[in-house]
Amino acid sequence: MELTLFIIVGAIAVLSAAMMLISENAVYSALFLILNFACIAFFFLMLNAPFLAMVQITVYAGAIMVLFLFVIMLLGAERIMTGDFRYPWLTPAAVILALVFLVAASAAIIDGDIDFIEEHKPDPYVRAVHAVIDAGELDFYLDDTLIASGLAYEDSSDFELWTEAVDSRHTVRLFEAGADPASAEPLGEEIVEINAGEALSFVAVASGTGDMDPKLIVATEDVTFNEESGTARVVAVNALAKWSSVAIVDKENNTTLIEDLPYGQASAGVLLKKGKHSISVYPDGNDQNQLAVLKNTEFDDNTSVLWVLIEERQEGNTFESRILNIETSGSPSFGSPTHVGRLLFTHYVLPFEMVALLLLVAMIGAIVLTHESLAPREPMTRRLANPPAGLDQPIIGKPEK
């Protein structure tokens, strides 16, 4: 289906380009070029770039081509001048050159070493979550890069792009806030594997009741745009040392979301319908003994939710389980207007400003070039910068036809 569409629209694009080249009337050429631009806008839609398709139609097919048509009509240049060619040898030479280039380009594309097949995944995201009760502020290091500093209990850092090497083993280390990673002894250490396209949360939790040494659990989330709209994605991390494994139940629908989640592990992602939910945690196989509950909590669609099950110290040195609920809104999908806009106003602010400046200069340039008093005057005077010897005054006059 997609291939058929591609072939049909591609044929229209090539035909309209050819008609643009051979039309005798410049107005027809401009109209064929607009058709060609519309085909390219269609390809942008097929390539997951709806924003570019829109800009292509409004700016190219709209503004720029209207300018072309306006100038053609203004100058009365619809009819192509049919004079004798100044360089008659140019036609065959150009055709031969173009064919050679086409063959070379096709050979390079089909047989070349360009890596077309492998789909590349986006860079991974990493963040840190502090769920160690009684511990002070913490610093998180991934290899030697500080990814979160001075993180307080119950806090999480924002997801950050990890642009260093992926698909290899990295070390996450945990320090007291302000400690020097080169000399200080890490509070916790964990070797993790980071893969492209993932979003990893490094959750520091207390290891065992009463024992407050932090332990690191890695949860893999998915923060890309949620294609199944109306759902939030949930990942749970079990840090309840007292129970060998737990189950998480959505009480309203009486459905078990996550079963048999062992201590010290993160679950796989599950989908949760948007809206209010009451979430309960039970020890596995015992649905009477409710450990913790998350009452009437609102979940938005297109968010990624991380539940960390922790034990909190109560008065009298008793412990009570609770769910730490951390929500992250999904990042916009590839090619969407939000994605383009976010890139434009983060990485590309400077080029954007420079292009704006360029447009301003072009506007002034167009005024200067076409202004009556500033345009070059008739008759054209021809001057030589370095007149030949014996010539005292510049040569003035029209060049002969």
Partner 1 sequence: MEASEVSVELYVLLSAVLFIMGVLGVLLRRNAILVFMSVELMLNAGNLALAAFARQWGNGDGHLMVFFVMTVAAAEVAVGLALIVAIFRTKQSINIDDLHMFKD
Positions 348 through 387 that interact with partner 1 (CB under 8 A): 348, 351, 355, 358-359, 361-363, 365-367, 369-370, 375-378, 380, 382
Evaluate whether 125 touches 158 at the Cβ level (below 8 Å): no
Distance of closest approach, residue 75 Cβ to partner 1, in angstroms: 5
Q: How far apart are CA 142 and CA 157, in angstroms?
A: 13
Nearer to partner 1, 271 or 359 (CB): 359
Q: Tell me whether residue 208 or residue 335 sits nearer to partner 1 (CB atom).
A: 335
Establish if 146 lies at the interface with partner 1 (CB under 8 A). no
Q: Identify the residue whose tokens are 């609770």.
A: 322
Question: CA 53 to CA 380: how far, in whole Å?
Answer: 45
Is residue 102 a contact point for partner 1 (CB under 8 A)? yes
Give the one residue of 88, 89, 113, 119 binding partner 1; rule: CB under 8 A: 119
Count the Cβ atoms, other than its own, within 10 Å of residue 199. Answer: 21
User: Smaller CB distance to partner 1: residue 168 or 370?
Assistant: 370
Q: Does 110 bind partner 1 (CB under 8 A)?
A: yes
Query: Smallest distance from the beta carbon of 78 to partner 1, in angstroms?
Result: 10
Which is nearest to 150 in space by CA: 162, 135, 161?
Answer: 135
Cα 247 to Cα 261: distance, rounded to the nearest angstrom = 6
Window contacting partner 1 (CB under 8 A); options: 59-67, 260-268, 282-290, 306-314: 59-67
234, 306, 324, 340: which one binds partner 1 (CB under 8 A) = 340
CB of 48 to partner 1, least distance (A): 5
Question: 326 and 305 in contact (C-beta within 8 Å)?
Answer: yes
Q: How far is the CB of 87 from partner 1 (least distance, A)?
A: 8
One DSSP character per residue, 30-79 reads HHHHHHHHHHHHHHHHHTT-HHHHHHIIIIIIIIIHHHHHHHHHHHT--B
Restricted to residues 32-51, the positions that interact with partner 1 (CB under 8 A) are: 33, 36-37, 40, 43-44, 46-49, 51
CB 306 within 8 A of CB 326: yes
Choose, by CB under 8 A, the member of 86, 134, 211, 318 that binds partner 1: 86
Cβ proximity of 160 and 86 under 8 Å: no
Number of H helices, E strands in the chain: 7, 16
Element spanning 296, H or E: strand 292-299
As a whole number of angstroms, the distance between CA 203 and CA 172 comes to 10
Choose, by CB under 8 A, the member of 251, 273, 274, 339 that binds partner 1. 339
Q: In degrees, to the nearest 5, what angle opens at C-alpha 398 toward C-alphas 392 and 401?
A: 130
Binding mask 15-34 for partner 1 (x = CB under 8 A): --xx-xx----x--xx--x-
* Structure token pair of residue 268: 């796989």
Per DSSP, 267 falls in state P
Contact with partner 1 (CB under 8 A) among 88, 89, 116, 165: 116
Nearer of residues 163 and 288 to partner 1, judged by Cβ: 163
We find the least distance from the C-beta atom of residue 149 to partner 1, in angstroms, to be 29
Is 89 a binding residue for partner 1 by CB under 8 A? The answer is no
Site for partner 1 contains 182 (CB under 8 A):
no
Nearer to partner 1, 111 or 134 (CB): 111
Say whether residue 258 binds partner 1 (CB under 8 A): no
